[in-house]
Structure 1
Amino acid sequence: MDFVRRTATDTELIASLPLDPEGRTWVRLDGPGGSEAWLIGWPPGTGTGWHDHADSVGAFLTASGELKEYSLAARLPTDGWKTLELTDGVDRERRLPSGQGRAFGRHHVHEVLNESPDAHAISVHAYYPPLPQIRRYSRSGPILRLEQVERPEDWQ
């Protein structure tokens, strides 16, 4: 978390990120101790969709603007399923205005959104070990469905 806090206060770096009015933009950073790190720009109304980071632990912090995180307070099985019915009370949400962030453990299922109608957000993310994969999910009410597994070559 120290790395993302420190990086988020680097105003020159934050200002250097090219912003696109329609799609997220990102730049890979040199993360500490073999971690994987990213600077991400979020246009108004964009988000990640539901996903997890497999066996990586992570942290992210909003450097400018505001993000919202929706997450599941439930330990899901890591393999061998395509569809799960979530129980009541597992949904969590948190606002992450500029200067606020969070750390998370392995298999943390969440989605991150910039819900602003008119302002970009910028955030700093770090993962260790470097992301082995990202599992993407769709959600309809209490039903969570595994849709896709991405590997590093899909996003680098």
Structure 2
Amino acid sequence: MSDAPLLSPARPSAGPAAPPSAADLLDFVRRTAADAELVASLPLDPEGRTWLRLEGPGGSEAWLIAWPPGTGTGWHDHGGSHGAFVTAAGELNEQSLAVRLPTEGWKTLELAEGVDRERRLSAGLGRAFGAHHVHEVINPSSEQHAVSVHAYYPPLPLMRRYSRTGQVLRLEQVEQPQEWE
């Protein structure tokens, strides 16, 4: 036997971690929504939404959001980021479009029949979504706050806000991150 130290073969250095997938983000928001102490720590305002920015996985942006009764986001997208959200307390309704919209070059679109989707998401339920997701989220309760956890990757570069009248969707505003941070 030799007294020479054993050397392990050189391993290639690991490259940068892969960015989180929509499934990774959904796993994160589910685990975070199950943290009762964190959820209970968010102040509830009877007038407007309150939020707390969280450290998301792999450089993602994450938020804990409280929704007073009857409040919602209005129609919007996430500027090309994919993401996930889960209801941690109460219930949220999500209205979404099952169609990919062009991201540039339009102000008004007429939506075809049959593109609307609706989900009722009670505590513990949520969903992941792709980079071209357009939706609105509403707390339908007239009495109870809802709380949810959201994560986006890459961190939101912008949000486009829309108005909707019947089947007509109109681009109203483009928000930059400094407007909601």
TM-score when normalising by structure 2 = 0.86
1:141 to 166, 170, 181: 166
1:87 shift after superposition: 0.3
Task: Please give the residue correspondences for 1:19-38 in structure 2 after superposition, counting only pairs within 5 Å.
Answer: 19-38=44-63
Q: How many residues were matched structurally?
A: 156
Which residue is equivalent to 2:82?
Answer: 57
State the percentage of identical aligned residues. 76
Matching of residue 97 in structure 1 with residue 155 in structure 2: no
1:52 shift after superposition: 0.2
1:54 shift after superposition: 1.6
The secondary structure found in structure 2 opposite 1:5 is: helix
2:101 to 66, 69, 76: 76
Aligned alpha-carbon RMSD (Å): 0.4
1:131 shift after superposition: 0.2
Distance in 1, matches of 2:85 and 2:31, equals: 11
1:46 to 56, 71, 77: 71
Which residue is equivalent to 1:151?
Answer: 176
Which structure has the larger Rg?
2
Distance in 2, matches of 1:9 and 1:98, equals: 9
- Give 2:99's aligned amino acid: A
**Deviation readout 1:23-58 (Å, 9 max, x if unpaired):** 000000011100000000000000000000021000
Which residue is equivalent to 1:7?
Answer: 32
Q: Where does structure 2 lack aligned partners over 5 or more consecutive residues?
A: 1-25
Distance in 2, matches of 1:8 and 1:71, equals: 22
TM-score when normalising by structure 1 = 0.99
Which residue is equivalent to 2:5?
Answer: none
Q: Where does structure 1 lack aligned partners over 5 or more consecutive residues?
A: none
Distance in 2, matches of 1:62 and 1:71, equals: 16
**Deviation readout 1:53-76 (Å, 9 max, x if unpaired):** 021000000000000000000111
Q: Which segments of structure 1 move beyond 6 Å, counting only runs of 4 or more?
A: none
Which residue is equivalent to 2:8?
Answer: none
Which residue is equivalent to 2:157?
Answer: 132
1:107 shift after superposition: 1.7
2:112 to 87, 97, 111: 87
**Deviation readout 1:69-119 (Å, 9 max, x if unpaired):** 000001111100000000000000000000000000012000000010100
Which residue is equivalent to 2:13?
Answer: none
The secondary structure found in structure 2 opposite 1:61 is: strand
- Give 2:171's aligned amino acid: L
